Structure 1
């Protein structure tokens, strides 16, 4: 793959910021959108805009075909057994809340265990805290190694016969850690638990096969994989989704409504009350087409190569500390530059036209584990190049000089 050629497919990247060509390194927060995705959404609104599943007119039929066609694409992208196991949501956060509310609160009892890790994004932490409070279940945490990884021995020691749910991120949005999901799923199932996977940071970068991983639930966000904001998906094993009650009620998710009781539609529609994110689904489908054309393997290899190069460059900056594993990590680097506050680092980088993220990254418990209040993060995607990394490294040296530090070793 040619990242420079791919970059030309993203209109927003062809601009100057503060007099410098934009270097966008905030892809873990959200990725930019290729022209094909923008055009697909525009075409839907210009030609097919109508509500789905309800009308018999031509526009309604075309809108329904586009919406359900996008569901088929998500199912194929994840290798789900059937499209009815794909629930459209607003994103990963909503998807995880559906499981925590619709599954966990219905099945957990006092004394049951929910196993997490300290690296979880708040979206895969707070819903389980609330489920535990509501049911009397207990939260347990798999300990982290000094480099921010977990060991299978610790998974084995933490997951017990009292564990009912293991909820874990596939890829850490701070550390870049890639967790061994298939092996963790085997341990969970051997103990009679289900596994829920936060796939926000894995789906855009790795080839995901939910059947090979044998996960019970898998959540993703469209905006992190070249799609629009406000759309995501939840995959679930059919027998689990069928047992669950909906968490949102209203039009479109019902079968029959009486004055004192109602019944629900079959999967997946019982979880999609009201008018869904139709244009978002169309955009997500177009994003999947775009990613499949490039190939997830090619994206993964490009990002790993770029990350190795970035670690090499940034490691030569005296006083810069990189967090997370050095090997087998995802395409992001979280760091601090001496005692310069990460927000100040990001502000100075912005004057150079470089966009990075600074803050706690919705991972406050992990920040406390790292013994920092915040970090800066540069995250890569298919359109980033070694030149972008060089710009970052050079600008970080300028940042050090700006704050009165020595430059480079």
Structure 2
């Protein structure tokens, strides 16, 4: 199993909800305060609001089929009814008001709040002990009891936080400080999430395609163009010095983010696609010979297939593919059979963009190295969801795109081991990458300059640095845990929609929820969701081989980020019930 992601997908051996996991999630993320107006749909618990309202006995192991569906004419009530029990994050948004009038004859009513959580706390971390102490003292609030960055403990409490945190307080924290986790304050950092689409509040569930940008990144880009804009290196004036410092500081931030051993191992490129092509057309073209073998996997994005196909066709190489099981998990025993002395390169994704499968990256790298192969890891879908440590992975190259981790488009990173990069011939020539040029020969710089010919994307590299600062302040491990909670919550609701088939059910997943719905084309589902203000991706996701492995040409793909909430999931599920029952 992957060393970077040790979560269950919340499903037990019989395919039902894993009760222990759900209880842990409820305890970890939903701390209910006495006398607070907390809605009665408890995220992650699987308890139907309707069952509690009517006093029915319930079990989180059993679907509640005995109650009438208040929304639809022929469906069964899922364990948490989207739109009827208002999720914690919903009541501070206008989504509640919009939903209340979205369908004639449909009643969305707020019920009496819970007084106590249905689950008991077990062992608490030191962070949770501190948090619980603040929660216990909430009725006798005094400023000395605050956690850092919390300005008002009297406001509603959701998930981690003991109150609505001060955004300004977060912005004033040191770069390496972790702000208290409050999803509503995080959402407030993203201006585009205040947009309305077709009269509805925007719900952005297309994060695997691109993440939205926080104000901190937008402001940093503006500041660069207003105060620092210049070409970098060598110029003898103040703005060049400012721009160079900003650019190289961004490189240092990436180094720390990936735990690379040197800034010289961080090369700025346009994105993951360019980084893979760089390796293929520089190292690959230089080092691979006819008959050599490259191994990729069934899970790959086209960007990690096509460059190797092109290289194989040009040089007479053999391309081999690691198969997957019916859950979308790589078959390591089959991978082992593919490895042989002719294997020169293994290139695979850490997280599938189409299925969300988290691969056992460290093991795959070690197995490739055992036969003398170099290994590239595509981290485009991983860096915003989980901690990445390239020294621990021991990969030879690691690639990611800035726009997948709340940074700008058009900027990305190629990490490579320093000695390997310095041994590799550059793939583009021009300024900045040379030590000396004569008409007879050129002497190249060492990495990273040898791979950064010409004027690079300076401003967006600085913006990527700001995005890394933003993620670091929240804490990548908290992001990972919170998104996993959302994934479990969404998975258990989607599984109960009649005719909906989830594509990709690996035990270890990041926040991708690909599905098809019987009787509806994926583009039809996507178009209706858009009318409801919900942005998802529908199509083949530039990953046709893996979808065809599951017998489909396209899926609907909601995908999660740290600013998503249970209310977003409820709105999605509510809309899907309406589609299925043709009441839209």
TM tier, shorter chain? over 0.9
Question: How far, CA to CA, are the matches of 2:304 and 2:540 in structure 1?
Answer: 15
Question: How far, CA to CA, are the matches of 2:315 and 2:519 in structure 1?
Answer: 43
The aligned counterpart of 2:236 is 56
Q: How far off its partner does 1:293 sit?
A: 0.4
The aligned counterpart of 1:29 is 209
Correspondent of 2:254 among 74, 81, 104: 74
Question: How far, CA to CA, are the matches of 2:498 and 2:453 in structure 1?
Answer: 54
Does residue 328 of the first structure (1) align with residue 508 of the second (2)?
yes
Match of 2:515, SS state, is: strand
Q: Give the conservation status (yes or no) of the 8 Å contact 2:357–2:506.
A: no
Q: How far off its partner does 1:118 sit?
A: 1.3
Match of 2:575, SS state, is: helix
Correspondent of 2:486 among 300, 306, 329: 306
The aligned counterpart of 1:87 is 267
Match of 1:115, SS state, is: strand
Q: How does 1:345-384 map to 2 (within 5 A)?
A: 345-384=525-564
Does residue 226 of the first structure (1) align with residue 439 of the second (2)?
no
Question: How far, CA to CA, are the matches of 2:287 and 2:218 in structure 1?
Answer: 42
RMSD: 1.1
The aligned counterpart of 1:385 is 565
Question: How far, CA to CA, are the matches of 2:345 and 2:334 in structure 1?
Answer: 16
Question: How far, CA to CA, are the matches of 1:402 and 1:296 in structure 2?
Answer: 40
Does residue 158 of the first structure (1) align with residue 323 of the second (2)?
no
Q: How far off its partner does 1:403 sit?
A: 8.2
The 1:254–1:314 alpha-carbon spacing in structure 2 relative to 1, beyond 3 Å, is: same
Question: How far, CA to CA, are the matches of 1:134 and 1:143 in structure 2?
Answer: 25
Q: How far off its partner does 1:326 sit?
A: 4.7
The aligned counterpart of 1:118 is 298
Q: How far off its partner does 1:230 sit?
A: 0.3
The aligned counterpart of 1:407 is none
Question: How far, CA to CA, are the matches of 2:298 and 2:523 in structure 1?
Answer: 23
Match of 1:333, SS state, is: coil
Q: Give the conservation status (yes or no) of the 8 Å contact 2:397–2:417.
A: yes
Q: Answer 1 or 2: higher relative contact order, Cα 8 Å, separation at least 6.
A: 1
Question: Looking at CA atoms only, which structure, 1 or 2, has the larger radius of gyration?
Answer: 2
Aligned residues: 404
Question: How far, CA to CA, are the matches of 2:425 and 2:277 in structure 1?
Answer: 13
**Structure 1 or 2: larger strand share?**
1
Question: How far, CA to CA, are the matches of 2:518 and 2:423 in structure 1?
Answer: 52
Q: Give the conservation status (yes or no) of the 8 Å contact 1:360–1:373.
A: yes
Structure 1 residue ranges without an equivalent (≥5): 405-409
- TM-score, structure 2 as length reference: 0.68
**Structure 1 or 2: larger helix share?**
1
Deviation per residue, 1:273-296 (Å, 9 max, x gap): 010100000100000000000111
Question: How far, CA to CA, are the matches of 1:12 and 1:159 in structure 2?
Answer: 47
The aligned counterpart of 2:220 is 40
Match of 1:129, SS state, is: helix
Question: How far, CA to CA, are the matches of 1:243 and 1:128 in structure 2?
Answer: 20
Deviation per residue, 1:213-270 (Å, 9 max, x gap): 1110000000000000000000001121111111111111111111232111121101
Single out whichever of 20-29 and 156-165 deviates more from structure 2: 156-165
The aligned counterpart of 1:194 is 374
Give the 4+ runs in structure 1 shifted more than 3 A: none
Q: Give the conservation status (yes or no) of the 8 Å contact 1:105–1:134.
A: no
Q: Give the conservation status (yes or no) of the 8 Å contact 2:329–2:506.
A: no
The aligned counterpart of 1:340 is 520
The aligned counterpart of 1:400 is 580
Question: How far, CA to CA, are the matches of 2:231 and 2:384 in structure 1?
Answer: 29
Q: How far off its partner does 1:327 sit?
A: 2.6
Q: Give the conservation status (yes or no) of the 8 Å contact 2:208–2:381.
A: yes
The aligned counterpart of 2:156 is none
Deviation per residue, 1:302-358 (Å, 9 max, x gap): 111100110111111100000112532111100011131111110000000000001
Q: How does 1:166-181 map to 2 (within 5 A)?
A: 166-181=346-361
Question: How far, CA to CA, are the matches of 1:381 and 1:235 in structure 2?
Answer: 24
Correspondent of 1:318 among 498, 518, 525: 498
Question: How far, CA to CA, are the matches of 2:276 and 2:552 in structure 1?
Answer: 27
Q: How far off its partner does 1:15 sit?
A: 1.7
Question: How far, CA to CA, are the matches of 2:339 and 2:534 in structure 1?
Answer: 42
